Amino acid sequence: MSDEIGTRVKKVRLRKGISQEQFGEIIGIKKAAVSKIENGENSLSKGNLLAICRQFNVNKEWLINGNGEMFTPKSKEDEIRNFFENAISSDSDIAKIQRKFISTLISLDEEEWIVLDRFMKHYIYSK
């Protein structure tokens, strides 16, 4: 593995604003292994490469060769899926607020959805 891949791994981690330990937990390796990958001491396994791409929405071609954009664009459906998955799987204060918000949305009847749609058109979409 070249140092360049390790440098790109570090760029992903820093862009996401997480520690080596957090990054490693997400892809299933130890902090020391992340450090060695970033410094070019260890190779990035195919499994770890795929995990980084999947977990952080990283463009595989960029991670391997430096070509293209760092992140792959997400579809609206993927963004919605990720929002719900994060809200459900996390115990953070933000996730608790998100779950409360989702619960509120679930309880809306048809008329309330129409009112919400009008509100969004007026206050959100008009900007």
Q: What is the mean pLDDT of residues 106-123?
A: 94
48 vs 65: CA distance, rounded Å:
16
Whole-Å CA distances, 99 to 93, 95, 102, 104, 107: 10, 6, 5, 9, 12
> pLDDT digits over 61-107, tens only?
999 999 999 999 888 998 898 889 888 888 888 889 999 999 999 99
pTM over cut 0.75 = no
- Let me know: does 62 contact 68? Beta carbons within 8 Å: yes
Quickly state the pLDDT bin for 7 (edges 50, 70, 90). very high
Quickly state the pLDDT bin for 1 (edges 50, 70, 90). very low
- Let me know: does 8 contact 66? Beta carbons within 8 Å: yes
Quickly state the pLDDT bin for 127 (edges 50, 70, 90). low
